[in-house]
Amino acid sequence: MEKNNLKFKAWYFIYTVIIYFFFIIPSCFALEPLQNELQVSSDKKPLFKNIHGYFDLNGYYDTRSFDIITNNTLINLPYGLHYYSFTNLLGPFNSADSFTLNKYYTEQNIRWALYKNIPVELNVQWNSGSNLTDKMRFGPRIRVNDLPWIGKILKKLNLIYAITPFPLQVDHSKGYDAQIEQFYKMQVLPRYFKDRVYISGFADINFLYGSDNRTRHHPSVTETQLGIRLINQVYAVVEYRYNGFLPTNKRNGLGLGLEYLFKF
C-alpha cells in the first residue's frame, strides 16, 4: 500500500506541474499568439522541424460522484518514432469532497513505423495504476484509415481509426492475458462546423485466462467523447464511460467537463 501511495504522489506531482504550465498559465495570459510564433520559428530549426504533436487536458465530473483529470499526449518524432501517453487522476466513488484525487492509471506507449508506405507500427506499452500490477505489452498498431482499400471510405466519413492487438503481455499475474485496443476520431460535418465538433474515443477488449478470482474473461473498457469548441482551444466535453472491471452498478458513467488542447 505504501508503494502505491508513493507512485500516486509522484504522478500527482508531475501532473500538477503540467496543469499549471500547460493549462492555467496559458489560459490566464492568452498565449495562443505566442504559441503560433514559436511554431513558425521552430520550422526554421532542422532539429525541431519534424517534431510535432499535441497535449490535451480534460477535467470532468463523473455522474458516479467522483472527479477525474485526464491527459493525452502525442509527440511525433523523427525516424518514424512516436510517443503517446494516456493518464487518469481520479477520486473515489461517491466522494463528498470535490477533486479528491487519490488514484491514478497510466499507459505509456512507444511506437515505431518501420516503413513509410506501410501503415503498421510496432507498439510497446507500459501501464500502471493504483492497486494494479505493472504490465508491458507488445503488438502491431494498424492505422486502418491509411489502408488503400478502406482508407478512401473512412476519409469520406472524416474518420480516423486504428487497432492494436497486444498478443504478448509481461507481468506478475497468473495465467495468460492479452488485449485488443481500438482508437477512433471523427470530425462532425466539417464543411459546416470546421474543426468545432468532434467525436472520439477508445474501446479496449481484454482476454484474461487462468488467473485466480476472475469471473469474467473478456471485460471491456470504452470511452466515447463529444467535444464542442467554445473559444480558441477550449472545448466543452461530454463523455460516456463503461468499465467492465467494476461492479455492475458502477460500470456506466457520464463525464461532464472542459478540455484544453495545446498543439505544437
Q: What is the pLDDT of residue 11?
A: 54
Q: Estimate the share of the chain in helix, then strand, then coil, as percent rounded to the nearest 5.
A: 20, 50, 30
Report d(CA 174, CA 183) in Å as an integer.
28
Q: How confident is the model at residue 44 (pLDDT cuts 50, 70, 90)?
A: very low
* Cell 499526449 belongs to residue: 73
Report d(CA 87, CA 13) in Å as an integer.
13
> CB under 8 Å to 155, separation ≥6 — which residues?
145
Q: What's the rounded mean pLDDT across residues 194-218?
A: 81
Q: What is the pLDDT of residue 95?
A: 62
Q: How confident is the model at residue 214 (pLDDT cuts 50, 70, 90)?
A: low
What kind of architecture, by CATH, is found in domain 2-263? Beta Barrel (2.40)
Q: What is the pLDDT of residue 215?
A: 55
Cα dihedral 207, 62, 158, 167, rounded to 10, equals -10
For the stretch 103-117, pLDDT in tens is 899 999 999 998 888
Q: What's the rounded mean pLDDT across residues 155-174?
A: 91
Name 29's bridge partners: none
- Can you say how many angstroms the Cα of residue 224 is from the centroid of all Cα atoms in its chain? 11
Contact by Cβ (8 Å): 120, 113: yes
- Could you give the 3-state DSSP secondary structure of residue 206? strand
